[in-house]
Chains A and B, each alone.
Chain A
Amino acid sequence: GAGVSQSPSNKVTEKGKDVELRCDPISGHTALYWYRQRLGQGLEFLIYFQGNSAPDKSGLPSDRFSAERTGESVSTLTIQRTQQEDSAVYLCASSSGGLQETQYFGPGTRLLVL
């Protein structure tokens, strides 16, 4: 079956602009995760959805970051007033919903803020 998909694959934007990143999880997966990966580093947890609700948003770096999920499927991560330090690969993962279940990752969106 289809895996996790993300769009766009790459995004170049100017400092101060808003960007919206999209994630389509595996069908039927109730849990969805967003991570950020800076160059040469490991993954940094941002936010987790169980269904449409986000029990923990504490990983979001600032109030410029927000995420939503509708219909227990697609999620969007929005970064407002982008800064150069937001440049990274943003990865989305989904799982069947149980705690500590295997997470299946999308290919990521590479964001470059000029």
Chain B
Amino acid sequence: SQQGEEDPQALSIQEGENATMNCSYKTSINNLQWYRQNSGRGLVHLILIRSNEREKHSGRLRVTLDTSKKSSSLLITASRAADTASYFCATAGSSYKLIFGSGTRLLVRP
């Protein structure tokens, strides 16, 4: 069963706008990771945030983590058409498994 739930399921924005995606999970975690997937194929790792971190930045990406609410958000600033993809959060607990959410499909309109 899936641990994470992303919302919204789909998001359509204009190029230049910011995109925010949220992820909620159920059990305690060691870290939370965000991945991007183009055209239903391989996933690309974007960013990892550990359970003792609250915020992390990487380029135009900003990730927050609230372990008390068991939630995370991914913000993409100044979006580009090339950011169009599906975005997944994945949680890592005490084992080797990554538990993936169902993803947010982002469409950035030129």
Number of A-B contacts (CB under 8 A): 64
Assess whether A100 is in contact with B92, with CB atoms less than 8 Å apart.
Answer: yes
Q: A43-B88, A89-B41 given as contacts; is B101 within 8 A of A103 (CB)?
A: no
Instruction: Give the CA-CA distance A48 to B95 in the complex, in Å.
Output: 11
Interface size on A, as a range, is: 20 to 34
**Interface residues of B, count at CB 8 A:** 26
Instruction: Give the CA-CA distance A31 to B97 in the complex, in Å.
Output: 11
Q: A42-B103, A43-B88, A102-B45 given as contacts; is B40 within 8 A of A31 (CB)?
A: no
Q: Confirm or deny: A41 has a beta carbon within 8 angstroms of a beta carbon on chain B.
A: yes
Q: Confirm or deny: B44 has a beta carbon within 8 angstroms of a beta carbon on chain A.
A: yes
B49 to chain A, nearest CB (A): 12
- Which one, A41, A44, A55, A91, contacts B43 given CB within 8 A? A91
Assess whether A43 is in contact with B100, with CB atoms less than 8 Å apart.
Answer: yes
Assess whether A108 is in contact with B45, with CB atoms less than 8 Å apart.
Answer: no
A106 to chain B: which residues have CB within 8 Å? 42
Instruction: Give the CA-CA distance A103 to B41 in the complex, in Å.
Output: 15
- Which residues in A have some Cβ–Cβ distance to B below 8 Å? 4, 31, 33, 35, 37, 39, 41-45, 48, 50, 55-56, 89, 91, 93, 99-100, 102-108, 110
Shortest 9 CB-CB contacts between residues of A and residues of B: A42-B100, A100-B92, A43-B100, A107-B42, A105-B43, A42-B102, A105-B42, A107-B41, A108-B41
Q: List 22 A-B contacts (CB under 8 A).
A: A31-B96, A33-B96, A42-B101, A43-B43, A44-B100, A45-B97, A48-B96, A50-B96, A55-B96, A56-B95, A89-B41, A99-B94, A99-B95, A100-B30, A100-B31, A100-B92, A102-B45, A103-B98, A105-B45, A106-B42, A107-B41, A107-B42
